[in-house]
């Protein structure tokens, strides 16, 4: 009996050289790794085509017939064996460039064969090169019951293919493995889960995922393995959240006092939206519960999250605690500071800013006053989590625009106080439900699904770059009414030079076209101070057009800007386009978003642009983005470093299975909080094993 943990190089047919390739190219080191290297597709060999039905556009096909003739033709490199296969509907050629001798020796005339391969056209005739051929037992008519009806295809790299490790070789290795494992594979879920969710056994699943015996069993194997994979991801996250909850009792904020009430009754410049009220209630409940709040606040751009953050901070202040708001950039931190001070007006609440730019005496004073408690709210960049920033009593930490921060930073926040502060994570990148469950599965979620009243939806159009005159005409109309305009260029790291050139060219063109207006320019290569200064000039209206890369993406608020032009819109993700578009439409005027692309774009791109034109709902767009691009490419998921090396489940399409898996994990944890039920031992052991072998899983605690 071989073990899952056994080194792959001792497997027959592998050896040190191939083991090295498998490890370097695919990360396959052990027998277990090979077992979970699943096929990416299966070729259906269950259907037998009539020769007349075949054309060269078809993928792999299977036909049944007899060989009528076989001739070696051509010379030298063009030498080949051409056989003619017939059934009762027509003729197709079978061609061999190699292995001619073998074919001549092994295949007979006038015997029924099942032939499998990719049809092509050569010299006006249909043929299949290097077909797979299987003899049919004439006493038993072929009924599709050949050994491998669904043939697995495995992804391999070019390098592997050059060394003969192609999909077929991978199939052979895997098949060899199954021969060695002649007894059933041990179960990896407990009986309750298998029965309750009507799953097939692990053994049946793992065998059928590689070599499906039927379409039905393939489907069941996929469900079983996806469920299992997502179940352990959820069990890991939820168990971790529960442990943390036990370890850390939260600060209790029992009362609402002068700060909150005073603000609510005398300073709040408008009525809260229903969604804001609901979310504030959820936050109040958390902070009064005695356990530490860890809440994700999702709300589209402009939905009024800042105000929710401020009012939550006021609750902390009413309970003799301080609050801290962390933003991803200097500009945003500064803007938060101004916004908060403006909201608070003459209330006796002190808000200070701490960023890398705050230095010397000023910094010392702030640090001192944080320690003695006379600063109530600290706004800043990640400078606020540095070790020398010490609060008297930090009660609430707000992290804005979460996707720039990881779990590790969140954890650092908790350590800022004896009893860890309540944590509110705010994100304006709406996250599809399945992603949120997996990425932020340990957080409770609040959603602001309502914009403040009176907002005019941004009018979005798609224009081609050869209609630039029309675009400029529109811009001029807006500029003449005193509005401001953003023009954004993509910046993708691999070709930074070229991108910068695009931006520079665009800038020159715009300056030439609008000599009567002032044009600013911002990009990632500028020093932060320069960048800030340029942004400030635009914010104050000194410049009317801002040509920029995506550095302006997050949070910047210039209500007078009414047009967002996005150049090479095809190069942005949908969520990113949505974020950018959210920079306009912040004032009372009708705003516009112009998505500019080349005339020649693919249907996929056209679809994506159309989604932007049709919808202003961030959640809808995020779901579409996930469907179109898959989870790996979505913003925020790369940095998150967890759960995205899923081997079989797909967060874009397996939402239902994920919901079941989460429900299952919750049930297990609820019913066996002390992990004493022997029936669950198998689960904890497996989880331990997965955490040991999966680096990303280990990283969350």
Judged by the rule CB under 5 A, the positions of this chain that interact with Mg ion are 555
Integer distance in angstroms from the first to the last C-alpha of the chain? 35
Which one of Mg ion, ligand ADP, none is in contact with 550 (Cβ closer than 5 to 8 A by kind)? none
Report the half-sphere exposure of 521 (CA within 13 A, side-chain side): 14
CB of 389 to ligand ADP, least distance (A): 24
Rule CB under 6 A: say whether 160 interacts with ligand ADP.
no
Please tell me whether residue 700 adopts helix, strand or coil conformation.
coil
Rule CB under 6 A: say whether 302 interacts with ligand ADP.
yes
Burial of residue 254 (CB within 10 Å: 0-12, 13-18, 19+) is exposed
- Which residue's structure tokens are 């958390």? 286
Nearer Cβ to Mg ion (401/570) = 401
Site residues for ligand ADP, 552-571, by CB under 6 A, read 557
Q: Which of 119, 304, 328, 441 lies at the binding interface for ligand ADP (CB under 6 A)? A: 304
Site residues for ligand ADP, 413-442, by CB under 6 A, read 428
Which one of Mg ion, ligand ADP, none is in contact with 301 (Cβ closer than 5 to 8 A by kind)? ligand ADP
Which one of ligand ADP, Mg ion, none is in contact with 626 (Cβ closer than 5 to 8 A by kind)? none
* DSSP structure string for 314-382: HHHHHTT-EEEEE-SSHHHHHHHHHHHHHHHTTSS--EEEE-TT--HHHHHHHHHHHHTT---EEEESG
Site string for ligand ADP, 257-296 (x = CB under 6 A): -------------x-xx--x--------------------
CB of 35 to ligand ADP, least distance (A): 47
Nearer Cβ to ligand ADP (303/543) = 303
Nearer Cβ to ligand ADP (398/668) = 398
* DSSP structure string for 469-533: HHHHHHHHHHHHTT-EEEEE----GGGHHHHHHHHHHHHHHHHHH-TTS-EEEE-TTS-HHHHHH
Nearer Cβ to ligand ADP (403/523) = 403
Q: Are 440 and 295 in contact (CB under 8 A)?
A: no
Nearer Cβ to ligand ADP (234/429) = 429
Rule CB under 6 A: say whether 301 interacts with ligand ADP.
yes
Which one of ligand ADP, Mg ion, none is in contact with 622 (Cβ closer than 5 to 8 A by kind)? none
Which one of Mg ion, ligand ADP, none is in contact with 85 (Cβ closer than 5 to 8 A by kind)? none
Site stretch for ligand ADP (CB under 6 A), options 163-171, 299-307, 320-328, 539-547:
299-307
CB of 189 to ligand ADP, least distance (A): 42
Q: Are 523 and 548 in contact (CB under 8 A)?
A: yes
Burial of residue 670 (CB within 10 Å: 0-12, 13-18, 19+) is exposed
Which one of Mg ion, ligand ADP, none is in contact with 270 (Cβ closer than 5 to 8 A by kind)? ligand ADP
Residue 491, both tokens = 């910046």
Nearer Cβ to ligand ADP (117/299) = 299
Which one of ligand ADP, Mg ion, none is in contact with 445 (Cβ closer than 5 to 8 A by kind)? none
Contacts of residue 208, defined as CB under 8 A and 6 or more positions apart, other chains included, come to 200, 217, 218, 220, 221
CB of 325 to Mg ion, least distance (A): 10
* DSSP structure string for 69-123: EEEEES-GGG-EEEEEEE-SS-EEEEEESS-HHHHHHH--TT--EEEEE-EEEET
Task: Supply the DSSP symbol for 407.
Answer: H
Burial of residue 145 (CB within 10 Å: 0-12, 13-18, 19+) is exposed
Nearer Cβ to Mg ion (429/484) = 429
Q: What's the CA gap between 213 and 544, in Å, rounded?
A: 67
Alpha carbon distances (Å) from 625 to 457, 507, 606, 629, 634: 20, 30, 13, 6, 8
Residue 193, both tokens = 């889960």
Burial of residue 6 (CB within 10 Å: 0-12, 13-18, 19+) is middle
Q: Which of 18, 226, 295, 305 lies at the binding interface for ligand ADP (CB under 6 A)? A: 305
Residue 240, both tokens = 């971790």
CB of 585 to ligand ADP, least distance (A): 10
Q: Contacts with ligand ADP: how many residues (CB under 6 A)?
A: 15
Q: What's the CA gap between 456 and 615, in Å, rounded?
A: 13
Nearer Cβ to Mg ion (205/314) = 314
Q: What's the CA gap between 307 and 652, in Å, rounded?
A: 33
CB of 590 to ligand ADP, least distance (A): 17
686-691: which pairs have CB atoms within 8 A and are 24 or more residues apart?
Answer: 686/188, 686/189, 686/232, 687/232, 687/235, 687/236, 687/239, 690/232, 690/236, 691/236
Q: What's the CA gap between 643 and 437, in Å, rounded?
A: 11
Residue 625, both tokens = 């983005």
CB of 557 to ligand ADP, least distance (A): 6
Alpha carbon distances (Å) from 551 to 359, 384, 510, 554, 555: 24, 22, 19, 7, 10
Nearer Cβ to Mg ion (14/324) = 324
Nearer Cβ to Mg ion (490/555) = 555
Which one of ligand ADP, Mg ion, none is in contact with 439 (Cβ closer than 5 to 8 A by kind)? none
Task: Supply the DSSP symbol for 265.
Answer: I
CB of 449 to ligand ADP, least distance (A): 12
Handedness of CA 263, 265, 268, 274 (dihedral sign): positive
Q: What's the CA gap between 580 and 593, in Å, rounded?
A: 9
Rule CB under 6 A: say whether 665 interacts with ligand ADP.
no
Nearer Cβ to ligand ADP (222/429) = 429
Q: Which residues pair with 71 in a beta bridge?
A: 82
Rule CB under 6 A: say whether 306 interacts with ligand ADP.
yes
Site stretch for ligand ADP (CB under 6 A), options 47-55, 300-308, 627-635, 657-665:
300-308
CB of 427 to ligand ADP, least distance (A): 10
Nearer Cβ to ligand ADP (305/686) = 305
Nearer Cβ to ligand ADP (187/620) = 620
Q: Which of 307, 389, 634, 660 lies at the binding interface for ligand ADP (CB under 6 A)? A: 307
CB of 587 to Mg ion, least distance (A): 16
Rule CB under 6 A: say whether 591 interacts with ligand ADP.
no
Site stretch for ligand ADP (CB under 6 A), options 302-310, 439-447, 535-543, 674-682:
302-310
Site residues for ligand ADP, 438-477, by CB under 6 A, read 452
Nearer Cβ to Mg ion (188/557) = 557
Q: Which residue is nearest to ligand ADP (CB)?
A: 304
Which one of Mg ion, ligand ADP, none is in contact with 273 (Cβ closer than 5 to 8 A by kind)? ligand ADP
Burial of residue 607 (CB within 10 Å: 0-12, 13-18, 19+) is exposed
Site stretch for ligand ADP (CB under 6 A), options 225-233, 297-305, 364-372, 632-640:
297-305
Which one of Mg ion, ligand ADP, none is in contact with 276 (Cβ closer than 5 to 8 A by kind)? ligand ADP
In the complex, the residues that contact ligand ADP under the rule CB under 6 A are: 270, 272-273, 276, 299, 301-307, 428, 452, 557
């Amino acid at each position: 009996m071989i073990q899952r943990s056994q080194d792959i190089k001792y497997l027959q047919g592998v050896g040190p050289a191939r083991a090295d390739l498998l490890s370097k190219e695919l990360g396959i080191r052990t027998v277990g790794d090979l077992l979970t290297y699943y096929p990416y597709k299966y070729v259906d060999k269950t259907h037998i085509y009539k020769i007349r039905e075949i054309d060269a556009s078809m993928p792999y096909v299977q036909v049944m017939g007899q060989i009528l003739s076989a001739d070696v033709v051509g010379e030298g490199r063009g030498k080949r064996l051409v056989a003619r296969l017939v059934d009762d509907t027509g003729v197709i050629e079978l061609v061999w460039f190699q292995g001619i001798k073998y074919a001549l020796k092994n295949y007979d005339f006038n015997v029924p064969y099942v032939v499998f391969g990719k049809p092509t056209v050569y010299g006006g005739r249909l043929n299949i090169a290097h077909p797979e051929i299987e003899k049919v037992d004439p006493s038993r008519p072929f009924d599709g019951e050949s050994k491998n009806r669904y043939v697995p295809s495995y992804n391999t790299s070019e390098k592997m293919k050059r060394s003969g490790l192609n999909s077929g070789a991978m199939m052979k290795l895997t098949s060899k493995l199954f021969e060695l494992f002649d007894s059933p594979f041990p179960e990896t879920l407990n009986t309750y889960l298998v029965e309750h969710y009507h799953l097939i056994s692990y053994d049946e699943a793992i065998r059928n995922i590689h070599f499906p015996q039927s379409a039905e069993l393939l489907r069941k194997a996929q469900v079983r393995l996806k469920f299992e994979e997502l179940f352990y991801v959820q069990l890991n996250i939820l168990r971790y959240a529960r442990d943390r909850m036990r370890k850390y009792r939260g600060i209790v904020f029992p009362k609402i006092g002068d700060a909150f009430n005073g603000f609510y009754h005398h300073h709040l410049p408008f009525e809260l939206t229903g969604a804001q009220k609901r979310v504030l209630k959820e936050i109040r409940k958390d902070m009064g519960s005695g356990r530490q709040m860890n809440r994700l606040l999702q709300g589209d751009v402009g939905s009024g999250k800042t105000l929710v953050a401020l009012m939550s901070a006021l609750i902390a202040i009413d309970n003799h605690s301080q609050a801290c708001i962390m933003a991803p950039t200097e500009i945003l931190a500064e803007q938060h500071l101004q916004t908060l001070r403006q909201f608070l007006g003459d209330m006796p609440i002190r808000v200070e800013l701490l960023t890398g730019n705050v230095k010397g005496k000023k910094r010392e004073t702030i640090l001192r006053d944080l320690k003695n408690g006379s600063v109530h709210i600290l706004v800043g960049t990640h400078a606020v989590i540095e070790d020398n920033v010490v609060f008297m009593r930090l009660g609430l930490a707000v992290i804005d625009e979460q996707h720039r921060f990881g779990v590790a930073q969140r954890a650092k926040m908790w350590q800022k106080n004896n009893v860890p502060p309540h944590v509110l994570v705010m994100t304006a990148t709406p996250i599809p439900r399945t992603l949120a469950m997996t990425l932020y599965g340990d957080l409770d979620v609040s959603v602001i699904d309502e914009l403040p009243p009176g907002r005019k939806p941004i009018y979005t159009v798609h224009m081609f770059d050869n209609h630039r005159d029309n675009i400029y005409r529109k811009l001029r109309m807006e500029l003449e009414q005193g509005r401001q305009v953003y023009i954004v260029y993509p910046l993708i790291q691999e070709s930074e030079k070229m991108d910068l050139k695009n931006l520079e060219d665009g800038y020159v063109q715009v300056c030439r076209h609008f000599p009567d207006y002032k044009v600013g320019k911002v990009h990632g290569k500028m020093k932060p101070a320069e960048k800030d200064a340029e942004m400030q000039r635009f914010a104050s209206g000194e410049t009317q057009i801002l040509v920029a890369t995506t550095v302006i993406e997050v949070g910047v608020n210039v209500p007078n800007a009414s047009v967002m032009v996005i150049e090479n819109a095809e190069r942005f993700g949908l969520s990113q386009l949505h974020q950018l578009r959210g920079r306009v439409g912040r004032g009372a005027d009708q705003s516009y978003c112009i998505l500019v692309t080349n005339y020649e774009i693919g249907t996929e791109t056209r679809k994506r642009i159309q989604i932007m034109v049709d919808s202003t709902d961030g959640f809808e767009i995020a779901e579409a983005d996930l469907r179109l691009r898959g989870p790996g490419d979505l913003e925020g998921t790369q940095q998150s470093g967890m759960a995205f090396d899923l081997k079989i489940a797909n967060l874009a399409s397996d939402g239902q299975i994920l919901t079941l898996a989460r429900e299952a994990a919750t049930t297990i944890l609820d019913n066996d909080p002390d992990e004493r039920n022997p029936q669950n031992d198998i689960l904890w052991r497996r989880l331990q094993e997965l955490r040991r072998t999966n680096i990303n899983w280990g990283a969350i605690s």
